[in-house]
């Protein structure tokens, strides 16, 4: 899949087993020349999580070259449906309940980007100093918040497990994957991450790490933050920056 955009894309990826786990069940994809990035998190506590996350990333890495961004998303859906069926069959053969993985993927073509996800691996966007979560977790906590409304947010947080996900590749016989599309602006910084980052590290600290716009430094600093907060899970981050080489780079210092 080639990236036919006039924007210049740079990115960096890092993954770490953390300080508690003995095996890294995360996997990631960093293909800036193709406009393709992904993070997959093998389901914690289940057998063969690393097999599942690896299968998800390999399927996305093998995507063909669609003619449009919509084509990228549809091709990715088809690949993930095939992986879902294969993981379900593999779990039956191995005699285990689930072999599964979350996924969040970012695709860039032209001046647009698309995100596709299932589970609680996330995509964030830092634009003009403001951090926004573009994905919505498929989790027991978010489902309870939906049912209770704004007035029940505190009750949801107190009663639901934030680690209990409701969707994942390989978790059920069918996979429902959400997708969204957005225009990309000069200087946009995207972050794909597993919950090994988003659970222990708050959004203010994430925004601070992304703000300088250096992908490699941000990836390194974000993993270090997760480890400093206990490193109880595998942690994986992919930081992606879009630049318009022909754009006006004059900016106002936000500290003024």
Q: Residue 224: phi, psi to the nearest 5?
A: -60, -35
Residue 189 lies in a domain: yes
Residue 35's SS3 state is coil
Residue 94 has pLDDT above 70, yes or no: yes
Cross-strand pairs, 124: 133, 191
Structural domains counted in the chain: 1
The answer as to whether 1 is a domain residue is no
- 16 located within any domain: yes
CATH code of the domain in which 31 resides:
3.60.40.10
In a domain, 251, yes or no: no
Q: Which residue has the tokens 């994942």?
A: 168
The pLDDT, as a whole number, for residue 140 is 80
The whole-model pTM stands at 0.90
User: Quick check: is 3 in a domain?
Assistant: no
CA dihedral of residues 112, 116, 122, 127 (deg, nearest 10): 10
Residue 81 located in a structural domain: yes
Domain presence at residue 256: no
Q: Could you tell me if residue 2 is inside a domain?
A: no
**Contact yes or no for 208/189 (Cβ under 8 A):** no
pLDDT bracket for residue 139 (50, 70, 90): confident
What is the pLDDT confidence band of residue 252, given thresholds at 50, 70 and 90? very low
- For CA atoms 205, 161, 153, 238, the dihedral sign is positive
Q: Please, what is the average pLDDT of the chain?
A: 89
Q: Read off the pLDDT of residues 146-191 as tens digits, 9 standing for 90 and up.
A: 665 555 445 544 455 566 889 999 999 999 999 999 999 999 999 9
Range of the domain at 58: 8-243
């Amino acid at each position: 899949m080639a990236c036919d955009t006039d924007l210049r894309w740079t990115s960096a990826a890092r993954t770490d087993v953390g300080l508690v786990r003995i095996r890294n069940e995360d996997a990631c994809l960093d293909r800036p020349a193709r406009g393709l990035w992904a993070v997959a998190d093998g389901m914690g506590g289940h057998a063969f999580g690393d097999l599942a996350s690896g299968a998800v990333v390999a399927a996305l890495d093998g995507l063909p070259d669609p003619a449009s961004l919509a084509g990228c998303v549809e091709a990715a859906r088809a690949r993930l449906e095939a992986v879902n069926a294969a993981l379900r069959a593999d779990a039956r053969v191995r005699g285990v309940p689930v072999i599964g993985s979350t996924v969040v993927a970012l695709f860039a073509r032209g001046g647009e980007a698309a995100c596709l996800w299932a589970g609680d691996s996330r995509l964030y966007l830092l634009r003009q100093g403001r951090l926004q979560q573009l994905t919505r977790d498929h989790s027991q906590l978010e489902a309870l918040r939906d049912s209770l409304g704004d007035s029940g947010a505190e009750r949801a947080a107190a009663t639901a497990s934030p680690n209990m996900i409701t969707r994942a590749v390989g978790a059920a016989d069918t996979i429902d994957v959400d997708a969204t599309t957005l225009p990309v602006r000069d200087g946009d910084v995207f972050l794909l991450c597993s919950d090994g980052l988003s659970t222990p590290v708050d959004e203010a600290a994430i925004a601070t790490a992304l703000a300088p716009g250096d992908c490699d430094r941000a990836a390194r600093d974000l993993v270090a933050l997760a480890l400093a907060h206990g490193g109880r899970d595998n942690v994986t981050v992919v930081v992606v920056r879009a630049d318009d080489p022909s754009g006006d780079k004059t900016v106002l210092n936000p500290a003024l």
